[in-house]
Amino acid sequence: MRSIVLWNNKGGVGKTTSVINLAAALAKLGKKTLLLDLDPQGHSTIGLGVSTKDKLTVAELLVDDKVAVKDVIQNTYIKNLDIIPSDISLSVAEAALSKMPAKEFKLRSKLKNIKGYDFIIFDCQPTFGTLPMNVFTVASEVICPLQLSYFSLESINNFVDTIHFINKEIGPVINHTLDLTGILITFFDTRTILAREVHEKIKDLFGKKIFTSTIPQNVKLNEAQSNGKSIFDYDADCKGSVAYLNLAKEVLKRKV
């Protein structure tokens, strides 16, 4: 089973859109996939039309010892794709979690015996706090969504430093490594000089780690989320749909 987090410490790079549609694409390709939403905004949950009303969520999973993984998994409308949903209650849970012993390993403990999936895809906050740390101690791979902008380029050093910190300070304690699967360029548009310059610098830094697949600017992607659907069910022929299917195929070939 492969476990992948899409993460960048800079927001606004299409992270959640990529989580939803990569997970949906892997499911479309016949891979049993679990999407774990660990963002208090719950946008991956909302973007797949999943309700948390009268349902247990990842918040209860993290702070209640009596709640098991099987209690919080929901089916989505997509074949092969399940979800552990999130909502604003995770903000309260995060505060409680921060006071608990071994707070960074709660999710790892709950997921240690999970079976039946080819992939777990994680969505989490663009921060370096308790919730992302819980993901980093579980996920074995990271994909960094990156926009071709000056601020995105500035954030990449923090991203690299974070991965190094996890592998140097946390990894040896639990025999765990977080490897970079690839850099995913989102909102791809190289018509400006700045975008082309940033693109060249990213290629110099990461070389073959950059996915060949890029995600174009495509209004259909936002429309799909607002309708609670993956891009494949909203507009299967649009540029965004083709891009995410190609990305999923590349991920399958690029096991680290």
Question: What is the predicted pLDDT for the residue at 256?
Answer: 58
Query: 137: Cβ–Cβ under 8 A, 6 or more apart, which residues?
Result: 104, 105, 107, 108, 166, 170, 174, 176
Per-residue pLDDT reduced to its tens digit, 95-143: 998 888 889 899 999 999 899 999 999 999 888 888 999 999 999 999 9
Question: What is the predicted pLDDT for the residue at 185?
Answer: 92
Question: What is the predicted pLDDT for the residue at 126?
Answer: 84
Question: What is the predicted pLDDT for the residue at 128?
Answer: 80
CA distance 193 to 25: 32
Sort 248 into a burial class: Cβ within 10 Å, 0-12 / 13-18 / 19+: buried
Q: Is the pTM of this model over 0.85?
A: yes
* Paired strand residues for 210: 183
For tokens 């694409």, the residue is: 25
Stretches in the chain below the pLDDT threshold 70: 256
In 3-state terms the chain splits into helix, strand, coil percentages (rounded to 5) of 50, 15, 35
Closest CA to 49 of 75, 11, 15, 14: 75
Q: How many CA atoms lie within 13 A of 130 on its CB side?
A: 19
Per-residue pLDDT reduced to its tens digit, 216-234: 988 999 999 999 999 999 9
CATH T-level topology, domain 2-188: Rossmann fold (3.40.50)
